[in-house]
Amino acid sequence: MRIALKYGLPVTLIVIIWVVFARFLFPIAQQSSLQFLAPVLFNIAEFIAIYLGIRAAGRTAGQMGFKASLKGGVSIAFVYAASSCLFFVVLDLIVGPKLLLSEPMSQNHPLWQVALAAYTGLFFGSLILGLIYSTVVSFAFAKRNI
């Protein structure tokens, strides 16, 4: 659990820094071509965190099997997903629905549905991609016997 916190929370920190810069300090327009950077940055950060976390766990515990590596990577993804959702809930309570109103479905649906879809997508998307990244990294480490 300690490794999951050590490597999952920095990814959330990257999300926080991005939101502060892209939404408050230097606002990026919805139609801007820079909007694609956020998911790319978050996924690269998640992959690197899972890689480093599995590698650190392997060095700490000695030889780790595929299953243990996979569980470690998914736990990192879970910490990232839960803490990112918590950040956005707190941000929504502080700032108000301003950020949620920029979501695509906010024009046609009640705000609670928009929030539910956004938080569910963030949480389960992070977990599913974390599972995929963990599988790839665990397989690579199992093949190399690291």
For residue 86, the model assigns a pLDDT of: 96
Amino acid code (one letter) for 31: Q
For residue 145, the model assigns a pLDDT of: 57
Give pTM, 2 decimals: 0.88
Provide the residue-wise pLDDT of the chain in tens; the chain has 146 residues. Answer: 788 999 999 999 999 999 898 888 888 777 777 778 888 999 999 999 999 999 998 888 777 788 889 999 999 999 999 999 999 999 989 988 877 777 777 778 888 888 888 899 999 999 999 999 999 999 988 766 55
For residue 144, the model assigns a pLDDT of: 65
